[in-house]
Amino acid sequence: MNDQELVATACPIIKDAGSAFYFTPATATRGAALGLDPYQFYAMGRGGVLGDVEPAVVSAAFGYFNPQLVAGLWNAGKAIVAPRVAGAAFMAASGDHGRLKLSAVDGLDQFVTAAEKVLGACDLDAFSLFAATAAEPLAADLPARAMQLVTILREYRGNAHLVAVRATGLTTKVAHFAKRPDDIAMFGWSAAEAPVIDEAVHSRMAAAEALTDQLVAPAFAVLDAGEREAFVAGLLGIQAALTL
């Protein structure tokens, strides 16, 4: 499996698996213990690792969302709990989900070793949300740690994608309408705000996806053949366990 094949196989699984805990009942319960509703906990939890910043900073780090939606969630949540507290709790919720779902996954120790090697090779430059998320301490037990590593690596590709989208001349709003038109309301947009999505936009989106893979590939390239096998096998096992 070459670098391109590894990224093409691993990253779609990481994208879905890394966010699997976001809105589960257990995560909602952990957020409620802080006084936050599930959407506030998402915004405060994912963005809280950045610290006590202005809403525009969180919106810039997230991309895709209507900044007004992010600002509303952030300001409401910040009035209830300190951002760093929410950020730590959100990472703990990721670990909780791993304990709940991943305990029976085979080869989790080899996966964690490989994932930590990838994480150690990730370039922090220009990837603020990833850097802040990666700075949170990891759980000691394998199921929780594995889930947290997938969550962190999801932010790595997410940050790379935002950089790639901007590099191809698109805004993340346009990218969202092009890539996820069925989710515009969830991200705070309305049909009346829709930009023109034409072949030129789709061509730039394809270029952005290719550039995203190019940006993240060096981190995955540090794995040798055996580690690649263990990493992909672990991801496939995690993917299957999360669907149960």
Count of beta carbons in the 10 Å neighbourhood of residue 102: 23
What is the model's pLDDT at position 76?
98
CA 158 to centroid of chain Cα atoms: 6
What is the per-residue pLDDT across 15-27, written as a single tens digit (0 to 9) for each? 999 999 999 999 9
Cβ proximity of 154 and 19 under 8 Å? yes
pLDDT for residue 2: 96
Longest Cα–Cα distance in the chain: 51
Predicted pLDDT of residue 169: 97
The tens digit of pLDDT for each residue in 154-187 reads 999 999 999 999 999 999 999 999 999 999 999 9
pLDDT of residue 97: 98
- The runs of H, that is alpha helices, within the chain are 3-18, 25-33, 38-47, 55-62, 67-78, 83-101, 108-121, 128-134, 142-167, 172-179, 199-220, 225-242
Nearest to 71, CA basis, from 45, 84, 53, 89:
53
Write down the mean pLDDT value for the chain: 97
CB 44 within 8 A of CB 87: yes
The domain spans of the chain are 3-242
Q: Both ends of the chain: CA-CA distance in Å? A: 28
pTM of the prediction? 0.96
Cα–Cα dist 227/230, whole Å: 5
Residue 240, helix vs strand vs coil: helix
Instruction: Identify the three-state secondary structure at position 180.
Output: coil
Beta-carbon contacts of 1 under 8 Å, excluding residues fewer than 6 positions away, are 9, 225, 228, 229, 232
